[in-house]
Chains A and B, each alone.
Chain A
Amino acid sequence: MTEVALQAVELVRRIEGVVSHTLVNGIDLAVNRGEFVAITGPSGSGKSSLLYLLGLLDAPSEGEIMICGQPTSKLSETERADVRLTKCGFVFQFHFLLPEFTSLDNVLLPMRAAGRMTEGEMRERGLALLGSLGLGEHANKRPNQLSGGQRQRVAIARALANRPEIIVADEPTGALDTASTEQVFSILRDIADQGQTVIVVTHDPALAARADRRIHIVDGKIAEIIGRGEGGRVCEMAS
């Protein structure tokens, strides 16, 4: 039986104002552990908003998100930050690396924030991650000394630093050339194959087609699901 890494129930995200606007409108979704899910849809359809909700970057107006079976809607902002730190890894369209830090220091950042390892262990893991992504030689370079693809790979290494259950990527190849796009997507595919859950928002249908499941969003609702959609048992919460 497959473990459910992430589950969304009746998820709604509404922006209140003079004219209220619904970004995500009643989405139910379960993503299994080790599954590679691509979220697609036209611009403004709510796919990024859904991704931010799933990664606990944003809070839903209604509904519930369970990460490894743990409900999150009643968590405080600090508790949500803790879940993000340990359970989620983020990759954005732009690398968003800290410019004054080296590649290694950027990768060490989440580990240092979590404070669960010694400095030696953190450096060892950071170097191993960079090495596994072909960046061993660039560990001491700053972001402005790296190419776009290299920066994005450093961002992926940073996302993997705390061994999160879920990797959330918002158009990670949107600003890359074809070769780098292929490289980054292959890395994400490998991550999923190694048992971590990957949820990617992408505009590229060819890349989406390589995911285990493609969820097409229109007007904040799931319009279509392509691929396997099996339910499963909930994965155990790691402390």
Chain B
Amino acid sequence: MKLLFNIAWTHVSARVRQTLVGMAGVAMGVGFTIMMAGLMQGSQIDFLRQLVDTMPHITVDDERRSVPTQPAEQEYAAVQMADIANVGKRPGIKYPESVMSSLRSWIPGDVAPSVGTSAIIDHGGARIGITLTGIDPRREVQVSKLGSQMREGKLDDLSRAPNGIIVGEALAEKLGVKTGNTVLLVGGQGTRLNSTVAGLFRSGLKRVDESQIYSLAGTAQLMMGQSGVVNQLRLRLNDPMSAQKVAAQVEAQTGYRSVSWQEANADLLSTFTVRDFIVLTVMGAMLLTSSFATYNIISTITHEKRQDIAIMKSLGMREYAVRRIFIIESIIIGVVGILFGWILGYLLCYGWSKITIFNPLTGTTVPLQIYYSAMHYVVAGGISLLCCAGAAYFPARKATRVHPVDIIRGAS
């Protein structure tokens, strides 16, 4: 192997300019791939962080995913019942405090009750449909980041203002309301309630900031016309990524529909999958393209070294050993190129992280989010090395298949 490496090294070191071009090609491919991976994953993680911070990780509703099996069906195999309404006589989760106590005993996180309903907010002639969530401010801080998302006022102000509500900043802007203003809430049962804007929040998700209002649980129950009802349990987990698994367990235990944040945003997450696929394809193409420079160099060397190949074969070196020389050459170019590519990739990521962009949706200027991961470096380097080896293999195979006699006769 040392001999093959020596020959390979003499070949690449004798062609400094060509070798540097090849290395530069690999370095560019690896560097830009790392930058792109960091940028894409960074923006995705940032978005998911916002999503996860804004929403409860699991929402347990007072609905069942399907019609519950009837006792007669459980008892008799021949019985099949149809056309059964999937609603309780009275909405709400039964014995919510008991259910929460039970969940708190095993879930890795916390749970808080809430009352969810829809309403219309009426102000200055504008009527906008909204989602009203009644919360307990003391418990809410355990399950959401609402407290830290407050832009005006505090969560506790809900208790101080008459029928206090906290409104999304975008919705407030749309309605032209400010903290302290009074708006009219109209519930589904025709309930009309004058409410005071106790504060404004901004989650960063426009669809939330434009349509979500928080109130005390009692206020929401009043709007529903159902006093004492708790129709949602909101869970926050220590590990948001385990939400799907925990949601399934919660649903199995309580019988109520438990929706993880992943399920609630399944459409969005599926677009991420498509985006990931596109990004991976583009990055693969970049790495493959960068290996073309290596292909060119190895092709040139094998062409120039046809005579040497013939001599090495005539001396008794095996074909695969001669072929390996050119693959080693390619790997030398690849490894050095990858090392420079790693440096370039890091510098690009660092440079991009210093760039700030204005987000017209949120109206804020934020830096580009870059995700630094050793895996990006390993994967980009590994794929690039494989591409380089592959790029060398084919010209090397072709060159080493040449019959030495043909070359020797030609030279003579």
Write the residues of chain A forming the contact surface with B, with a CB cutoff of 8 angstroms. Answer: 48, 52, 55, 57-58, 77-78, 81-86, 88, 90, 92-94, 96, 98-101, 105, 109-110, 112-114, 158, 170-171
Contact = CB atoms under 8 A, between A and B. Distances in A.
Given A94-B411, A101-B10, A110 B405 contact: no
A94 B412 contact: yes
B7 A57 contact: no
Nearest to A86: B316
Given A57-B314, A85-B315, A96-B311, A109 B408 contact: no
B11 interface: yes
Nearest to B411: A94
Contacts of B411: 92, 94, 96
Interface in B389-412: 403-405, 408-409, 411-412
A77 B316 contact: no
Nearest to B317: A113
A110 B3 CA distance: 10
B44 interface: no
B321 interface: yes
Contacts of B310: 96
Nearest to B2: A112
B412 A84 contact: no
A44 B412 CA distance: 13
Nearest to A52: B405
A39 B2 CA distance: 38
A86 B315 CA distance: 9
A170 B2 contact: no
Nearest to A113: B317
Contacts of A48: 409, 412
Nearest to A88: B316
A96 B316 contact: no
B308 A90 contact: no
A78 B316 CA distance: 9
Given A96-B307, A171-B412, 12 more contacts: A55-B314, A78-B319, A81-B316, A85-B317, A90-B314, A92-B411, A96-B311, A96-B408, A96-B411, A99-B308, A113-B312, A158-B315
B313 interface: yes
B104 interface: no
13 contacts: A57-B408, A81-B313, A82-B318, A84-B316, A88-B316, A92-B408, A96-B307, A98-B311, A101-B10, A109-B312, A112-B2, A113-B316, A114-B316
Given A58-B405, A96-B311, A81 B14 contact: no
Central interface residue in A81, A90, A109, by most chain B CB within 10 Å: A81
Given A52-B405, A58-B405, A100-B14, A109 B315 contact: yes
Contact of B405 (A57, A81, A86): A57
B319 A77 contact: yes
A110 B312 CA distance: 8
A112 B314 CA distance: 15
A113 B404 contact: no
Contacts of A101: 7, 10
A81 B308 contact: no
A55 B3 CA distance: 24
A81 B311 contact: no
Nearest to B407: A96
Contacts of B313: 81
A109 B408 CA distance: 18
Contacts of A113: 3, 312, 315-317, 321
